[in-house]
Structure 1
Amino acid sequence: MHAIHESTSFVTVLTLYNNSPGFGSPDYRKSSDIVIVGNAAYDKPGRSLALLNAFIKFIEVSMPRSNVIILTAPDSELHVHQKNVEVVPVEGDFSRGNLMLQRMRSYIVFLESRLKRLLHGQHDTNHFIFTDSDVAVVDDLRHIFEKYPNFDLAVTFRNNKNQPLNSGFIAVRGTIDGISKAKALLERVLNVYMLKFGNASRMLGDQLALAWVIKSHLSFDAKQFSRHEAFVDEIHGALVLFLPCAVYNWTPPEGAGQFHGMPVDVKFPSQTPFKEHVIVDARGCLCPLY
C-alpha cells in the first residue's frame, strides 16, 4: 500500500518576449514603456516580473507547501529561479491578440500531461488552482478540496448578467476522475470559444464561453448566480463547484483606482488592486509593489 499524499499547486500562464534591440539597457527604457510604482520605475517586462514575484511571495506566505507552475511559450525569455517554482513550455500562439484563447489551450495541455502521470502510476494527489498571475492569495485555499469533497472543477460566480463567471480562478481536483472530467469540460468551453467568441480571443472570450457552456446546460438554473452561497451542479458530466466571487475572486466594488481595503473573509482578491500598483498582504495591509 502506498500512502496518499495530497498537495496543491497554482498554475498560471505568462510569457515574455525580450527580443527588442537593446532590451534591458538604459537606452531601451523609453518613457512610453515605463510604469511608475511608488518610487520605482519599471519597463513593461519588469512590471510583469514584479507582479509575478508578488504572486509567488503571497503563495509562499499563505500556502508555503504549495508549488507554482508557470506555463509559457517555448521561446519565451521568462526565467524564474525560485524554490517551488516550475516553468513549463507549452506549444502554441502566445501573441497578445490570442492571449486568453491560448491560456485555455494551455490549461488543457497541462491537464492532459498530469492525467498521463496518474494513469502511469503516480500515487500522490496534486490538486490544481489555475489563476491569473497578478492576484494575491491571502488565505490557505486547500480547504476548498476538504470542505467540498464532491466536485471535479470549481469556478467563481457573481451576480452579473453578461459576465456571471470569472475565469481568473479555476480549481481542479487532482484525481483521475477530476482531471479527466475537468479537461473534457474545458475542451467543450474551448470549442465554444472558437466557434462563438473568436473575436474576443485577447480578452473576455474565455469567460463568455464558460458562461455559455454552463448556462446552456438544460438542468442549470442561472438564478443561482444571484445568491452568495457556494453550490454544486452537474454540467456535461462534470461536478462543478460554484464559489462566490465575493470571497474567492474579490474585486473592489469602488472600481479601478478607488481601492480602500477588502473584507476580512476574502480568500483571493482579483487583479484590480494590482493594476493600480498596490497589493494587499496576508494581514490586509497595503504594500507598494517594489
Structure 2
Amino acid sequence: MNDTVILFLSFSVLELHQNPAAQPPPKKMNTKFDHLVLGPAAGQGLPNRLQCQGTKALNKTHTPSSSNAGESVSFVTVFTVYNTSLADSRLSNLVTVGNASYTKMERSMAVLNVFVNFIQVTMPRSNVVILTDPASDLSLRRNSVTVYPIQGDYSRDKLMLQRIRSYITFLETRLEELAQNPGHISHYIFTDSDIAVVDDLGHLFNDHPNFHLALTFRNNKEQPLNSGFIAVRGTADAILRAKIFLQEVLKVYSSKFMSASRMLGDQLALAWAVKSHPGFDLRRFTKAQAFLENIGGASVLFLPCATYNWTPPEGAGQFHGMPLDVKVVHFKGSRKRLMLESWNFLSSSSDIFDMLCLVLLSGRTKYDF
C-alpha cells in the first residue's frame, strides 16, 4: 500500500411548541438543532487552549503538515450500508446540510466521504481502507481508498463485536503480505469513520519508536479507553502482538460484555483487558500524558484522548476548551452534522484552526444526526 487519506455556518431561532393546557405537561425532551448554534468559546484565557475571536483563531502552535513523516500510514475503518425502508426515503426524513439534502443512508455516506476528505487534506500520501460486509452495496470510488470485504455478522446489534473481528482478520492478511514482501512497511491507524484528522499523525511512529499498538485514554473510571483510535506499527512483530491483544479483547467481550454488544461492549472489554493486567496503575489515566506499558506481551502506548481522540462535549457538563495540540476530532453521536458543517467551512476558508474555532463554538449543542 502507498502512503494516506480526509471539511459550514448558519443561524436561526429555535421554536418552542407547547401542548394545550388540558394536556399533562410533556416530558422534557433533548432538543436537536437542524443548523449550527454558536455559543461562547470554552477555554478562554486558559493556557494551552485554542483562543478564538468568533471563528477566527488567535493562536496556533503547529502548522498542519502536508506530507507524512517517515513510512506510509494507512487508516482503516469498518463501515457497512443497511437496507432502508420506504419511509427512510421520504422527504420528511431528509436532512439538509448546506446546499445538500440527505436521506438516512446518504447521511452515513456523506460522513464517510468527509472522513476521507480530512485525511486527504492533512495526510495526502496515506491510504484509507474500508472494511465492510461483502453483501453491502458500498460504491465508493476515491483515489487512495480501498474497499475490503470481510465476511461476518454486521448486524447493528453485533457491529462493534464484528469490528474487532474484522480488525483481527485484516491484521492476519497484513502478516501474510509481509511474509511475501518483508521490505514494505505500512503503519495502520484503526478509527471510527466519524473522526476528522486535523494534523499529520505520521510523526507518532517516529516519536514513539518502541510501541506495538497505541490506545487512547481519558480520565473516566468505567470507560477509560476509547476504541475509536487504535494505532498499530507496521512491523511483523507489532502486527502479530496487536492481533493477539485484540483476540484477548474479543474473548473478554464475548464472555463478559455481550449485554452491551450494540454499544460500549468493545470499550468495556478493552478496559478489562488492560486493568486486569497485574501491576497496572489506574492512576496513570488521570493525567493527560502519554505512557508506555507492557500488556500481555505487547508494548502498548497510551495516548491522551485530549490530543488524539478529542470529542466536543455535548449538552451540559464541564468543558475546558480545545487543546492546542489536538490532532483528531471525534464527532460522536449527533455531532455528525457538525462534522459535515466543519468540512464545508474548511473548504471555504482553507484554515484548519479557524475551522476548529467553529467546532469549539458549536461543540455543546445536540444536532439532528
Q: Same fold (TM over 0.5)?
A: yes
- Matching of residues 101-116 of structure 1 within 5 Å: 101-116=161-176
Pairwise mapping of residues 216-231 of structure 1 onto structure 2 (< 5 A)? 216-231=276-291
Tell me the distance in 1 between the aligned counterparts of 2:318 and 2:154: 32
Aligned pairs for 1:6-45 (under 5 A) are 6-18=71-83, 20=85, 29-31=89-91, 33-45=93-105
Whether the aligned pair in 2 keeps the contact of 1:154 and 1:242 (CA below 8 Å) is: yes
The 8 Å contact of residues 84 and 105 in structure 2, kept in 1 or not, is answered as no
Encode CA deviations 1:30-76: one digit per residue, 9 max, x unaligned.
Answer: 25643333453211110011001110010011000000000000010
**What is the CA distance between 1:278 and its match in structure 2?**
1.4
Q: Measured at CA, do residues 185 and 284 of structure 1 come closer, stay the same or move farther in structure 2, by a change above 3 Å?
A: farther
Number of equivalences: 279
2:262 aligns with 202
The 3-state SS of whatever aligns with 1:239 is: strand
In the alignment, residue 276 of structure 2 is paired with which amino acid?
S
Gaps of 5+ in 2: 1-69, 347-351, 363-369
Corresponding residue number in structure 1 for 2:221: 161
TM-superposed CA distance for 1:283, in Å, is 3.2
Task: Identify the residue that residue 94 of structure 1 maps to in structure 2.
Answer: 154
Q: How does 1:119-138 map to 2 (within 5 A)?
A: 119-138=179-198
Alignment of 1:241 onto 2:301: yes
Higher normalized strand content (fraction of residues) = 1
Q: Look up the match of 2:136.
A: 76
CA contact (8 A) 2:253 2:266 kept: yes
Answer 1 or 2: higher relative contact order, Cα 8 Å, separation at least 6: 2
**Closer/same/farther in 2, CA of residues 36 and 185 from structure 1, 3 Å limit:** same
1:67–1:85 contact (8 Å) kept in structure 2: yes
Which residue of 2 is the match for residue 48 of structure 1?
108
Give the superposition deviation at 1:99: 1.0
In 1, are the aligned partners of 2:312 and 2:331 still within 8 Å (CA)? no
Give deviations 1:179-227, integer Å, cap 9, x for gaps. 0000000000000000000111111100000000000000211110001
TM-score scaled by length of structure 2: 0.71
Residue 257 to residue 11, structure 1, CA distance change in 2 (3 Å): farther
How many Å separate the matches in 2 of 1:194 and 1:265?
Answer: 36
Is residue 123 of structure 2 the alignment partner of residue 63 of structure 1?
yes
Distance across 1 between alignment mates of 2:316 and 2:195: 14
Which stretches in structure 1 are left out of the alignment for 5+ residues? 22-26
State the secondary structure of the residue aligned to 1:277: helix
**What CA distance in whole angstroms lies between the structure 1 residues aligned with 2:188 and 2:107?**
26
- Whether 1:275 aligns to 2:335 is yes
Cα RMSD (Å): 2.4
- Name the stretch that deviates more: 30-39 or 62-71: 30-39
Distance 1:266 1:52, change over 3 A: same
Instruction: Find the counterpart in structure 2 of residue 24 from structure 1.
Output: none
Check whether the contact 2:331–2:338 (CA below 8 A) recurs between aligned residues.
Answer: no
Flag the 1:276–1:68 CA change in 2: closer, same or farther, 3 A: closer
Q: Give the AA of the match of 2:126.
A: S
Match of 1:185 in 2: 245
Partner of 1:69, secondary structure, is strand
TM-score normalised by the chain length of structure 1:
0.89
Change (3 A) 1:34 1:129: same
Q: Aligned pair in 2 of structure 1 residues 64, 201: CA closer, same or farther (>3 Å)? A: same
**By how many angstroms is 1:127 displaced?**
0.3
Other-structure match for 2:18: none
Q: Provide the C-alpha distance between the structure 1 equivalents of 2:111 and 2:316, rounded to a whole number of angstroms.
A: 17
Deviation at 1:275, TM superposition (A): 2.1
Paired letter, 1:214: V
State the alpha-carbon separation in 1 of the partners of residues 269 and 183 from structure 2: 34
- Structure number with larger C-alpha Rg: 2
Deviation at 1:263, TM superposition (A): 3.3
Contact kept, 8 Å, 1:34 with 1:44, in 2: the verdict is yes
Alpha-carbon offset, residue 159 of structure 1? 0.3
